[in-house]
């Protein structure tokens, strides 16, 4: 193993600095020790696997951190080594990378069900804030796929299917073409070994048949480019096996139909040469209209650049051509990985680096964004899945939530009870406010308390419909309960005033009451009382009348104005202004309690159809409070008449609250309106008798309604 490792380190030193190599050496030894005694299915020591994974990354010229993490990628999963230990030995970034890969590993076991595949794919892309985690994972999978032969058939098929559903599409989306194709072909080989064999044989045979034609076309292209002064490499391009298989299956093509097109790739030195080559090709063979695509000027979202065109070939066969620079080609093959190319002093590499940055720059400008490649990747992720964030429960379950989601939304998404009782949240092990917006890959742990309640303020920041409706529902229910509690207290007061108590009421009374009143439950009646929709005193009386007769006949103690209104808000109607001594009737009105009218008030007549609201009441003989009453006088228009009237009222021991006199209109009589304070009907009669004695008073009446 040591020898194999030494050979690779030597190879890697082609683009890495000596100090990087020595860190990789110590990472290798660390990994070798950690995996001591573990073996691959093939019988090799386990450490051969991380070494191979690191080497795949080295082929893409990834940075030393990524390679170090690759060497260590299985130690957290398979050995006792902790993240802290890795961090101490190799730095925090490496530890984060290893941790990220380990997390992906964990999910894999919980989510291999096919239904979860799409979710997992999104998750994988989104959760890794550092794309290198995905690159390491893909390299890991690539090596496992390459060595899958040693694994038993059942497991082999499962892993190959998972690769096809999850890893290959990710590689494709990230623009990692060569891995993508290799993963697909390897998967096909292990999922459908027979189809793979037949197809591989057919492709080999077709290659022989086509060789002559392809050779002729290639020669024509080379000659044409040379004449046009374009320095270029021309390659014949073949579809990978899986893409042939897919086309046959999805489009129901025969093998011959799929193969009935020639592919060429032309690699030139610079961007200008791309267009020169294109011009030359279009003058050689006619382009098929509508097939030309300029991904140089407008790169694909994953960074892919090239000119694509399809030509009418000399034998009626379409010719697909891709034209790109060498740098674009590298990016096309390595995709996102090319942004992590290690910056070394090697001039050719830094040249590529520069180009990559230029290209990144143009991409970013086009998307009117600015910033570094990390931001680009964020942007890329946002583009791929704009509306969702993917977060973890403490048990590693994936939750997909809308963008802008907060910890409270998460809590309700897990369970309504968790939402209703949440008091705090730990995001990635750190206590954070509940309103914190969740980010991709966050591990979210909700802290609950048994008696916690939703806060109405949460409605200001939650984004999910579920959280919103559950909070509203809870608040409404809580409101109901509080109202019912208040109603219970009010009813108990009323019952006490009537010489009974809530505790003395019987189930039978309640049942009958609830049935009669059309309410759903006793609780609803109580809540109605609390909300002022029903009057406690009325309910109390009705309840008692449903029980044994007696207690409600006991006169209530204290200085009440109206008997029968105990515990109830009482108002005197403005329309008829009843005063003690008037025959009166109480009308229950919503939100106003009981309103007392005189028995002849027109309002009473209107309320007759609703007998529930009408209550027989009587004045309390002890009443001392002054009452307002209005009178109207018709007086002869003579000087000093107002003073005479006022003096007479004062004489009778009453206060004048208000006076209104109709304006002088030249007539002999005028109207005067007085609002007086009287203690009762007798008092009023005395005042009126006095006023009648004044000669100028022609007519006198009490005003009602
Ligand atoms: Mn591995």
Using an 8 Å Cβ cutoff, are 372 and 214 in contact? no
| Residues 134 and 169 placed together within one structural domain of the fold | yes
What distance in angstroms lies between residue 590's CA and the mean position of ligand 1's atoms?
74
Structure-block tokens of residue 52: 């191979």
What's CA 354's distance to the chain center, in Å?
40
Q: How far does the centroid of ligand 1 lie from the alpha carbon of residue 637, in Å?
A: 114
CB atoms inside a 10 Å sphere around CB 503: 7
Q: Is 635:625 a contact under the CB 8 Å cutoff? A: no
- Mean pLDDT across the stretch 417-431? 91
Same-domain pairing of 641 and 612? no
Q: What is the per-residue pLDDT across 444-482, written as a single tens digit (0 to 9) for each?
A: 999 999 888 888 888 888 888 888 888 888 887 877 888
Number of residues that this document lists for the chain = 705
pLDDT tens string 523-565: 888 988 877 777 788 888 888 887 754 434 333 333 346 655 5
Give the pLDDT band of residue 338 (cuts 50, 70, 90): low
Q: Are 109 and 120 within 8 A, CB to CB?
A: no
pLDDT digits (tens, 9 = 90+) for 294-323: 888 877 655 678 999 999 888 777 889 999
Q: Are residues 652 and 610 in the same domain?
A: no
- Using CA atoms, how far residue 7 sits from 4, 59, 69, 140, 330, in Å, is 5, 14, 19, 20, 25
pLDDT of residue 408: 95
Q: Dig out the tokens for 690 from the structure.
A: 């006095």
Residue 270: what are its φ and ψ, rounded to 5°?
Answer: -145, 175
Supply the pLDDT for residue 557. 35
Q: What is the mean pLDDT of residues 273-282?
A: 92
Torsion of CA 209, 287, 271, 350, to 10 degrees: -30
Say whether pLDDT at 568 is over 80: no
512 sits in which H/E element: helix 507-517
Angle (CA) 476 480 481, round 5°: 120
Number of domain units in the chain: 4
pLDDT (0 to 100) of residue 381 = 40
> In the predicted model, is pLDDT for residue 218 greater than 80?
yes
Residue 214 belongs to some domain of the structure: yes
Q: What is the pLDDT of residues 63-90, one digit of tens each?
A: 888 899 999 999 988 788 899 999 999 9
Asked whether residue 203 is domain-assigned, the answer is no
Q: What residue numbers bound the domain in which 690 lies?
A: 627-703
Q: pLDDT at residue 29 above 50?
A: yes
b or e along 629-649 (b: 16 or more beta carbons within 10 Å of the residue's beta carbon)?
Answer: bbbebebeeeeebbebbeebb
* Domain closes at, from 591, 619, 647: 619
- Distance between Cα 136 and ligand 1 center (Å): 9
Q: Is residue 205 part of a domain?
A: no
How far apart are the CA of 144 and the centre of ligand 1, in A?
7
Q: What is the pLDDT of residue 173?
A: 63
Q: What angle do CA 589, 595, 600 make, to 5 degrees?
A: 115
Q: Left if phi > 0, otherwise alpha if psi is -120 to 50, otherwise beta: which for 332?
A: alpha
Predicted confidence band of residue 202 (pLDDT cuts 50, 70, 90): confident
Measure 50 CA to ligand 1 centroid, in angstroms: 6
Spacing, Cα 690 to ligand 1 middle (Å):
112
- Percentage of residues in the chain having pLDDT higher than 70: 83
- Please tell me the predicted confidence (pLDDT) of residue 570: 75
**Residue 493 sits in the same domain as residue 601:** yes
CA distance 329 to 266: 10
Predicted confidence band of residue 374 (pLDDT cuts 50, 70, 90): very low
Residue 220 lies in a domain: yes
Considering the domain architecture, whether residues 221 and 162 belong to the same structural domain is answered as: no
Q: What is the pLDDT of residues 283-294, one digit of tens each?
A: 999 888 888 888
Q: What is the pTM of this model?
A: 0.49
**Arithmetic mean of pLDDT, 170-185:** 80
Q: Which residues contact 426 (CB under 8 A, 6 or more apart)?
A: 432, 444, 445, 447
In a domain, 357, yes or no: no
Higher pLDDT, 440 or 600: 600
Catalytic residue set? 77-78
């Amino acid at each position: 193993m040591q020898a194999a490792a030494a050979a690779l380190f030597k190879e890697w030193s082609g683009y890495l600095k000596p100090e990087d190599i020595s860190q990789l050496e110590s990472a290798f030894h660390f990994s070798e020790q950690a995996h001591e005694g573990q073996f691959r299915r093939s019988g090799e020591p386990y450490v051969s696997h991380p070494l191979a994974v690191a080497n795949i990354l080295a082929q893409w010229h990834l940075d030393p951190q990524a390679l170090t993490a690759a060497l260590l990628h299985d130690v957290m999963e398979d050995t006792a080594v902790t993240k802290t230990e890795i961090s101490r030995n190799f730095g925090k970034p490496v530890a984060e990378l290893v941790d990220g890969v380990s997390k992906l590993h964990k999910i894999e076991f919980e989510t291999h069900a096919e239904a979860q595949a799409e979710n997992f794919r999104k998750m994988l892309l989104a959760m890794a804030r550092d794309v290198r985690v995905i690159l390491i994972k893909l390299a890991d999978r690539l090596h496992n796929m390459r060595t899958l032969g040693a694994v038993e058939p059942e497991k082999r098929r499962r892993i190959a299917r998972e690769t096809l559903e999850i890893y290959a599409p990710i590689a494709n989306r990230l623009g990692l073409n060569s891995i993508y194709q290799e993963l697909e072909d390897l998967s096909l080989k292990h999922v459908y070994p027979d189809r793979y064999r037949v197809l591989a044989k057919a492709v080999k045979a077709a290659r022989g048949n086509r060789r002559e034609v392809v050779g002729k076309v290639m020669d024509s292209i080379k000659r044409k480019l040379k004449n046009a002064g374009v320095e270029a490499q021309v390659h014949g391009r073949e579809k990978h096996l899986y893409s042939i298989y897919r086309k046959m299956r999805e489009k129901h093509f025969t093998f011959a139909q799929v193969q009935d097109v020639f592919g060429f790739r032309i690699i030139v030195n610079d961007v200008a040469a791309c267009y020169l080559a294109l011009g030359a090709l279009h003058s050689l063979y006619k382009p098929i209209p509508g097939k030309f695509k300029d991904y140089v000027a407008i790169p694909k979202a994953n960074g892919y650049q090239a000119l694509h065109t399809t030509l009418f070939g000399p034998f009626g066969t379409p010719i697909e051509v891709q034209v790109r620079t060498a740098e674009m080609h590298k990016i096309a093959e390595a995709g996102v990985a090319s942004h992590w190319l290690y910056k070394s002093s090697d001039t050719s590499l830094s040249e590529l680096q520069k180009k990559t940055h230029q290209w990144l720059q143009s991409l970013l400008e086009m998307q009117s964004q600015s910033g570094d490649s990390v931001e680009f990747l964020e942007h890329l992720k946002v583009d791929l899945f704009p509306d969702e964030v993917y977060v973890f429960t403490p048990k590693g379950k994936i939750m997909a939530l809308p963008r802008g989601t907060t910890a409270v939304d998460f809590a309700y998404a897990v369970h309504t009870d968790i939402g209703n009782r949440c008091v705090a949240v730990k995001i990635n092990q750190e206590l954070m406010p509940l309103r914190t917006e969740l980010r991709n890959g966050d591990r979210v742990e909700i802290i609950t308390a048994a008696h916690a309640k939703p806060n109405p303020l949460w409605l200001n920041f939650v984004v999910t419909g579920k959280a919103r409706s559950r909070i509203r529902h809870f608040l409404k229910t809580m409101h109901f309960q509080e109202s019912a509690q208040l109603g219970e207290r009010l009813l108990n007061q009323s019952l006490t005033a009537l010489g009974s108590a809530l505790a003395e009421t019987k189930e039978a009374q309640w049942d009958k009451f609830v049935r009669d009143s059309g309410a759903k439950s006793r609780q609803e009646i109580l809540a109605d009382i609390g909300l002022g929709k029903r009057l406690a005193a009325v309910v109390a009386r009705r309840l008692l009348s449903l029980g044994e007769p007696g207690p409600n006949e006991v006169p209530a103690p204290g200085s009440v104005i109206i008997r029968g209104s105990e515990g109830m808000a009482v108002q005197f109607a403005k329309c008829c202004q009843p005063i003690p001594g008037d025959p009166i009737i109480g009308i229950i009105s919503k939100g106003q309690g009981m309103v007392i009218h005189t028995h002849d008030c027109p309002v009473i007549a209107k309320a007759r159809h609703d007998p529930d609201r009408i209550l027989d009441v009587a004045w309390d003989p002890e009443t001392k409070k002054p009452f307002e009453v209005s009178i109207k006088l018709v007086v002869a228009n003579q000087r000093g008449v107002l003073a005479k009237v006022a003096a007479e009222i004062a004489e009778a021991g009453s206060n004048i609250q208000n006076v209104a006199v109709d304006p002088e209109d030249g007539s002999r009589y005028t109207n005067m309106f007085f609002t007086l304070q009287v203690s009762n009907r007798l008092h009023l009669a005395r005042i009126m008798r006095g006023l009648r004695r004044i000669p100028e008073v022609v007519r006198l009446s009490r005003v009602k309604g």
